[in-house]
Structures are given as C-alpha cells and as structure tokens.
Chain A
Amino acid sequence: MVKNIPAGLRIFTWAFVALVLIFVLAPLIVVAGVSVSESQFIAFPPTGFSLRWFAAIFESDSYVRALLTSLKLAVLVTVGATVVGAGAAIAIHRGRLPGMGLLAGLFLSPLILPSIIFAIGLLMLWSATVGPVSFWALWIGHMVIALPYVIRTTLAVLSESDPFLEEAARTMGAARWQRIVYVVLPQCAPGLAAGAFFAFNISFDEAVVALFLRTPDLVTLPIQIYNQLEFSPDPVVAAVSTLMMGMTVLLIAIIDRFLGIQRFVGT
C-alpha cells in the first residue's frame, strides 16, 4: 500500500480516492440501475428487478435499426482503420520518408483537435462536393477519428520490436512484401489488435460526428439515445445505454489482454 503516506493522512487519502471513484462511476451505475428497474418511470434507486426494458429494445424498430447501423459502421471502421493504420504506423516507425515526424503529428492530430470542428467541415465539404451525407460520409469521419488510436498502439509495440529481424530477413533473401507480411506485421499484431478494438469502441460510442452527419435514415445508437434524451427519457434508453457499457467493459478486457491497459496509458 502507500507506505510513504503518514498513517494519520492515510484514511483521508482512501476516503478521497473512494469519493472520486464514486463520482466518476456514478452516472454509469445509475444508468445500469435504471435499466433493470421494474418501474416504467426513470427511477434510481431501482424498484424491483426486471429485464423487460432490454427485451423492449428489440421490439422497437428505431432501436434495432440504430443498433444495426452502429454495428455495421463500427465493423467497417475497425477493418478500414486497422489496415490503413498498420501501413501508416510501419512507415512512421521506419522514419525513412522526409518530413515523417511532421506527418506523424498530422496523423495523430485528430486525437487532440476537437471533433466538432472537423465534423462541421466534413459536413460542409461532403454536401458541396458529393451531395447529401450518407453512410460512407460517416464511415470516413469515424475512420479519421479511429486511425490515430491504431497508429498509437501499433507504434507502442513496434518501438519495442527488434530492428534486426527485418535486416536478417533481407540477408536471407526475403522480398519486400515477404518481409512486411512475415516479419513486420506479426510483430505489430498485438498493437494492431488493441488498436482494432479501440477503433471499434470509438466508432460505436462516437456522438459528435454522428450527430452532424445524421439524417432520418442514418442514426447510430448514441444518436438514437441523444434524440430520446432531448425528447423524453424512458427506461429503454437506460437498457440500450447499459448494453453499450457492457460492450465497453468487454473491449477494455480484450485490449488489456493484447496490449496491457497500463501500456496504453503510457506509464
């Protein structure tokens, strides 16, 4: 435990940590609580126990459609961002292209530049050149946001890889594509896997780009929730939200297996 904290302060320390954890977890716990409540009103603490709101999700056309849209989008974003991100990360890691440091910064900039600024630009550009926004506009928007995560996790793994393995493959006569496929990509694998699950989570949970690019036919799950919250929240919203949280817990566990969550944090 924390040995260097004096005994008298220790109790305050733990009380502080407990309070902060309760604070950051409170909205999540409340949503989960509401979702299993029997009451047809939003109620916390929950009264009774019932899973009927979860069943109600699948009886509602709008939720099922939003769920399918979100899943399809997240899967396609994951595939796209992982493939594109792998190439970019390998090129950044090798650093043989001129100005690659600058390009690396450019690749990672969607991480820190607020997505509302880019979302509105994308909406305007798409409308001016392509026409009304569609599923593919949303896909491209989410790709830009997910890409930095794949690049970052892959770079983290590559930075610890052995640079001489590729050299050895070259000496043994491996062609360029063979070195990439048999030597470099297997080394990237844990980072790519972690990045892929990040990409899925981000695309599935993202609300800002999806809100700007929504049309009556193009509604993702977070936007369906947002619409419902603006209109009138009911326990079904809580059930959908709980479903999404369950997905997040699962993804964190998977990312931790592949990369170690601590390494992603950078500690």
Chain B
Amino acid sequence: MRDRFEDLTLAGPGLLLIALAFLLPLFEMFRLSIVGPGGGFTAEHFVRFLTDPYYLGVVWRTISLSLLITAICAIVGFPLAYVMSRVGPRLRLWLIVLIILPLMTSVVVRTFGWMVLLGRGGLVPFTLWKMGFVGRNFTLMHTEAAIVIGMVQVLLPFTTLSILGVVMKIDRRLEEASRTMGASFLATLRTVVLPLAMPGIVAGSLLAFTLSVSSFITPSLLGGVRLPVVAGSIYDAATKTLEWNFAAAQSVILLVGVLVVLVPYMKLSGRRNG
C-alpha cells in the first residue's frame, strides 16, 4: 500500500495537470457544443455545420487535400526510410539530423519559407517560367498546390521516422534469402520489405492524416482566405466571429473524425511497441 501511495505522490502532479488542463477543456468543449443560446440542450450548431453547403465544401477540401498529402508522404517516405535504414551508422545519423531539423523548426518559420519560395517572383514560379513550363511569371500562393507542398514538407519527416522505426527492425537475412533465391532487388523490395514495413507505413500515414486535417497555420497562410479548411474555420469562429458554441461543435466533429483514424493508429503502434 505504501508503495502505491508513493507512486501516486510521484504521478499526482502530472495526473492533476492532465485532468484539469487536458480532459476538462475537452469536456468543456463538448458541453459548449450542445448548449443553445438560452441554455439547455440543442443540436443546432451541428445541424448548421452539417447542412450548409459552404461548410461541407470546407470539409471536403480538408479531407481530399489531407488524403493527397498523406499519400505523397507515404510514397516518398517509404523509399527514403529504406535508404536511411540500409546506410552506414554515421551517414544514417546525418540523414536523421537533416530530417529532424525541419521537424523541430517552428511551423510558422517553415511556412514563411514557402511563402518566399512560392510567391510572385519566388524561386519556384520564376524557375518554371524561365524553363518554359509556364507562359508568364506567376504566383503559386493561394492555391491548393501551395497547401499540398507546404503540408508535405511539414509531415514528411513524421511519416519517414515512423516508417524508419519499423524498417530498421526488419531482419536483413530475409532480404538476403530473397536475393539468393533469385529475386531481383526491386522484387525483393516489393514482396519482402514493403509488406513487412506496412505497419510503419500505415501508422505513419494515419498520424500524418490526423495532423493534416487539423492543421490550420500552413493552410491559412499558403491557401489564403479563399481556400478555408476545417481547422481554419474553427479558428475564425472562435477568435474572429466569436461564435464559441459553433466553434466547439466544429471541434467536436473534427475530434470525432480524428479519433476514428487514431484508434487503428494506437492499435498498430501499440502492437509494435509491445
């Protein structure tokens, strides 16, 4: 009993913090989402969001862009993680550092970099123009392409590291066996490594998708006001139009959507660790 009391004392401050500053805010969000203007229960905030074609368009944009971003991250992340896992330890350390550096840099700073690169006269449109791919100097800012480029850069390190953790644990003798049996390198990659790396790819993709649907700093700065996403709509309702109940309802919808994706993620990553 005294052991338990000791551990409870140790974990106590943390439990208090999580309960008061994490669970209670989530509870408050639920409460506000179903409270009407005059008090009492109402579903009007949910109905308003789910029946307005404008907001349904916002949801559709968020989901379709996130699917595209997630797919690109997985397709680029898998070969990158494979190469990282099969190089020498020194080079791997350097590659990991180069991947972690952007991951740990503020999202605002990275988005700023893309604003410079994609804006009118920026390096990317300018190069495309000079190389003759486009007829005139133009801007990529405030396009869906800009959101995708910016978000892939933000999420690719996540996906890559998540896949790397799994690929590193694949027994290399399986690859050697496949090669000895006459399979080519690409065939081995496809039939041996890829299936074994799948848990990492799926876990990384699920995480990338949840982060993508809920991000708003990069989409709002690169996409502008004409291309709102769900998280941006929540932010506007909470801080610009001050419709807190409506913002709370949208947050609940986002949370439910995220949890639907996160539950399989936790099963996958839990099995990997346990």
Residues of A bordering B, CB below 8 Å: 1-2, 4-6, 9, 13, 16-17, 20-21, 23-31, 34, 42, 44-45, 83-85, 87-88, 90-92, 94, 96-97, 103, 105-107, 109-110, 112-114, 116-118, 120-125, 128, 140-141, 143-144, 147, 151, 176, 180, 201, 204-208, 211-212, 222-223, 225-226, 229-230, 233, 237-238, 241, 244-245, 248-249, 251-252, 256, 261-262, 265-267
- Secondary structure dominating the interface of B: helix
Query: Which of B16-24, B48-56, B57-65 is the contact stretch?
Result: B16-24
* CB within 8 Å of A: which B96-127 residues: 96-102, 104-117, 122-123
A245: which B residues are within 8 A, CB to CB?
105, 109
Instruction: Please tell me if the beta carbons of B17 and A244 are within 8 angstroms of each other in the complex.
Output: no
Instruction: Please tell me if the beta carbons of B165 and A27 are within 8 angstroms of each other in the complex.
Output: no
Provide 20 A-B residue pairs closer than 8 Å at the C-beta atoms, listed in order of the A residue.
Answer: A4-B179, A27-B116, A114-B254, A116-B216, A118-B26, A120-B234, A140-B21, A147-B17, A151-B14, A207-B107, A222-B108, A226-B217, A229-B115, A238-B116, A248-B104, A249-B101, A251-B104, A252-B100, A265-B161, A265-B165
B28 within 8 A of A: yes
A212: which B residues are within 8 A, CB to CB?
235, 238-239
The 6 closest A-B pairs by CB, nearest first: A27-B113, A121-B25, A114-B214, A88-B14, A91-B11, A205-B106
Out of B8, B32, B105, B251, name the residue touching A117 (CB < 8 Å): B251
Q: Mark B74-91, 1 if CB is under 8 A from A, else 0.
A: 001001100101111001
* Known A20-B156, A207-B106, A208-B217: A112·B7 in contact at CB below 8 Å: no
* CB within 8 Å of A: which B1-50 residues: 2-4, 6-15, 17-18, 21-29, 32
Instruction: Please tell me if the beta carbons of A201 and B104 are within 8 angstroms of each other in the complex.
Output: yes
For the complex, give the distance between the alpha carbons of A120 and B31 in Å: 13
Instruction: Please tell me if the beta carbons of B10 and A110 are within 8 angstroms of each other in the complex.
Output: no
For the complex, give the distance between the alpha carbons of A40 and B5 in Å: 62
Instruction: Please tell me if the beta carbons of A114 and B210 are within 8 angstroms of each other in the complex.
Output: yes
Instruction: Please tell me if the beta carbons of B92 and A31 are within 8 angstroms of each other in the complex.
Output: no
Interface size classification for chain B: 35 or more
Instruction: Please tell me if the beta carbons of A125 and B24 are within 8 angstroms of each other in the complex.
Output: yes
Out of A20, A144, A151, A267, name the residue touching B80 (CB < 8 Å): A20
Out of A13, A141, A233, A248, name the residue touching B112 (CB < 8 Å): A233
Instruction: Please tell me if the beta carbons of A120 and B104 are within 8 angstroms of each other in the complex.
Output: no
A223: which B residues are within 8 A, CB to CB?
108
For the complex, give the distance between the alpha carbons of A144 and B13 in Å: 12
B15: which A residues are within 8 A, CB to CB?
88, 103
Instruction: Please tell me if the beta carbons of A248 and B101 are within 8 angstroms of each other in the complex.
Output: yes
- The residue on B at minimum CB distance from A180 is B10
Chain B min CB distance to A120 (Å) = 5
Most buried by B among A92, A105, A110, A248: A248
For the complex, give the distance between the alpha carbons of A115 and B92 in Å: 31
Instruction: Please tell me if the beta carbons of A107 and B18 are within 8 angstroms of each other in the complex.
Output: yes
B211 within 8 A of A: yes
Instruction: Please tell me if the beta carbons of B11 and A103 are within 8 angstroms of each other in the complex.
Output: yes
Instruction: Please tell me if the beta carbons of A106 and B21 are within 8 angstroms of each other in the complex.
Output: no
Instruction: Please tell me if the beta carbons of B17 and A144 are within 8 angstroms of each other in the complex.
Output: yes
B231 within 8 A of A: yes
* Known A114-B258, A248-B101, A252-B101: A16·B165 in contact at CB below 8 Å: no
For the complex, give the distance between the alpha carbons of A42 and B118 in Å: 12
B122: which A residues are within 8 A, CB to CB?
44
For the complex, give the distance between the alpha carbons of A83 and B12 in Å: 12
* Known A120-B238, A201-B104: A24·B111 in contact at CB below 8 Å: no
- The residue on B at minimum CB distance from A29 is B113
Chain B min CB distance to A79 (Å) = 13
Chain B min CB distance to A109 (Å) = 8
Out of A2, A84, A114, name the residue touching B87 (CB < 8 Å): A2
